[in-house]
Amino acid sequence: MTNKSAPPSRIEQLERLIEVSRNLSALLELEPLLQTIVAEAAELTHSQEASILLHNEEKQHLYFVAAPWHKRERMREVQVPLKGSIAGQVYQLGEPVLVADAQNDPRHFADVDLYTEFETHSVLAVPMVFQGQRMGVLTAVNKQSGGQFDADDVYVLDTLALQAAIAIHNANLLKQTQEAVDELNELDRMKRDFIAITSHELRTPLGLILGHATFLNEMVPEDLKSQMDVIVRSSIRLKEIVEDLTKVNNFQTGQARVRWQPINLNQLLQELVRSFKDEADKKKLTLKLTLPDEQLMVEGDGEKIGIAIIHLIRNALMFTDEGGVEISALRLPGHLQVSVRDTGLGIPEEDIARIFERFYQVEDHMTRRHGGMGLGLSVAKMMVEMHNGRISVNSVVGKGSTFNVVFPIVGNQTQELKNALRETTERRAKKR
């Protein structure tokens, strides 16, 4: 940028720097911002032009990223060495350099002049440094009216160099963040594909194994019954894992749907608790259900609500060796809450925030002892959130955990549930 007017005064420089800093803060794209900096650098130092060079770590040279628009593309092809150039010295030493007669200075890298058909006379170059990291060099060349660069020019260029360094630093952070996001998205895609393929490919052979094992279990001699029971139980466990994988995949792909209808929560919980009685008896644990006298009705998908509660009860029984598990329900203002409390191992505080993540398992020794893939709580959370509900946990290591599931009762849903409750009560009265 050529400026043949009188050089700005010190006060004018400072005022202009403040204005430039404000304007630069509004620019979000790196290239326009750097081009603005070199234009302002030339004007504020009363120079013929200015440019910005960055360091190429792989090839160990400097290259132009911002320069006068009319020769910007040509300058970007020039590689400036660290040794044998003014900019290279500034970058290596981290100190400003003023050169009054570049043509007679051995540090002047003349190839830039030759390549751009330009003649450099005077040079001011300052390092671009942010948080102790050297990034590049900001240069101004050919002080107008035959003058020389001074301390005021150094201050101006230092200030603009810091602006450029901050912009480049932020751009690098943004690039790294975007790369990390892209990598996570790719990993998540691979995980979804794995879940979908695994659940699909395992379903058919597992169904055949379970079907034939159940058939043969009725025919084998008594001395082989225990072995067949192991095969059947293991097949059922694998079937449950595949079903969980399928639920996760359906949720992620948006294929899962809620079939809304009034649900008698008391009745649902009674059925679920009965289904776990044998499992609790085998571990010599108490399994208690506490319900209010009133019938609790919630609108939702009974199967999916059941899946959520099943995983919570199963999880509680799995990690409880003494005492027992209590399931309870109550009405809150505008909500219904189901709680599953156990006297088991408890969850370390540092793990609580992650226990609802897919495939997350609290501790290796717990995994080896109790098995599982870390999907149960994740599936429970998905089922609850599909009903616009929320799930939370309070836990103390060695004393047990309490999982709370809250379902909302909002809008005209309340009246619909009251009608469903009245119909249920009337049907029971007729049976009596």
Q: Is the residue at 269 inside a domain?
A: yes
Q: Is the residue at 335 inside a domain?
A: yes
Alpha helices, DSSP H, located in 81-150: 86-93, 111-116
Are 242 and 275 contained in the same domain?
Answer: no
DSSP designation for 123? E
Rounded distance between C-alpha atoms, residue 185 and residue 189, angstroms: 6
Determine the longest span between alpha carbons in the chain, in angstroms. Answer: 113
Are 62 and 191 contained in the same domain?
Answer: no
Are the C-beta atoms of 372 and 354 separated by less than 8 Å?
no
Q: Helices then strands (H, E): number in the chain? A: 14, 13
Domain hosting 364: range is: 261-431
Beta strands in 166-213 (DSSP E): none
What pLDDT is attached to residue 1? 43
Are 274 and 147 contained in the same domain?
Answer: no
Residue with tokens 């009363």, as numbered in its chain: 46
Q: Is the residue at 345 inside a domain?
A: yes
21: CATH: 3.30.450.40
Q: Is the residue at 5 inside a domain?
A: no
Q: Is the residue at 405 inside a domain?
A: yes
Count of structural domains within the chain: 3
Q: Is the residue at 162 inside a domain?
A: yes
- Residue at a domain's end among 119, 150, 178: 178
Are 40 and 171 contained in the same domain?
Answer: yes
Q: Is the residue at 196 inside a domain?
A: yes
Angstrom CA distances, 326 to 291, 347, 400, 404, stand at 11, 17, 11, 12
Are 143 and 249 contained in the same domain?
Answer: no
Alpha helices, DSSP H, located in 94-150: 111-116
- Residue at a domain's end among 178, 199, 219: 178
- Residue at a domain's end among 178, 199, 218: 178
What pLDDT is attached to residue 415? 53
Sheet holding 47-56, edge to edge: 79-81, 61-66, 47-56, 133-143, 123-130, 97-99
295: CATH: 3.30.565.10
Q: Is 319 helix (H, G, I), strand (E, B) or coil?
A: coil
What pLDDT is attached to residue 303? 87
Residue with tokens 């010599």, as numbered in its chain: 284
Cα three-residue angle 136-156-118, rounded to 5 degrees? 60
Q: What is the pLDDT of residues 305-363, one digit of tens each?
A: 998 999 899 999 999 999 999 999 999 998 999 999 999 999 998 888 888 887 666 65
Are 127 and 275 contained in the same domain?
Answer: no
What pLDDT is attached to residue 233? 79
What pLDDT is attached to residue 365? 44
Q: Is the residue at 294 inside a domain?
A: yes
Are the C-beta atoms of 34 and 164 separated by less than 8 Å?
yes
Cα three-residue angle 217-223-224, rounded to 5 degrees? 35
Are the C-beta atoms of 325 and 279 separated by less than 8 Å?
no
Are 422 and 308 contained in the same domain?
Answer: yes
Residues of the chain with pLDDT under 50: 1-4, 365-368, 411-413
Rounded distance between C-alpha atoms, residue 376 and residue 287, angstroms: 20
Are 59 and 132 contained in the same domain?
Answer: yes
Are 218 and 284 contained in the same domain?
Answer: no
Pairing mode of beta strands 286-290, 61-66: unpaired
Are 315 and 225 contained in the same domain?
Answer: no
